[in-house]
Amino acid sequence: MADPARAARLAKRITTIVASAIGGEIKDPRLAHVTITDCRVTGDLHDATVFYTVMGDSVESEPDVAEAAAGLAAATGALRSKVGAGTGVRFTPTLRFELDTVPDATRAMDELLARARAQDESVARAARDAQPAGDVDPYRHDEDESDEPEDSLG
Residue 77 has pLDDT above 70, yes or no: yes
| Burial grade of 14 (CB within 10 A; 0-12, 13-18, 19 or more) | buried
The mean pLDDT value of the chain amounts to 85
CATH of region 4-99, choose from 3.80.10.10, 3.30.70.141, 3.30.300.20, 3.40.50.720 = 3.30.300.20
Q: Bridge partners of 34? A: 54
Q: Which pLDDT band holds residue 16 (cuts at 50, 70, 90)?
A: very high
Q: Which pLDDT band holds residue 130 (cuts at 50, 70, 90)?
A: confident
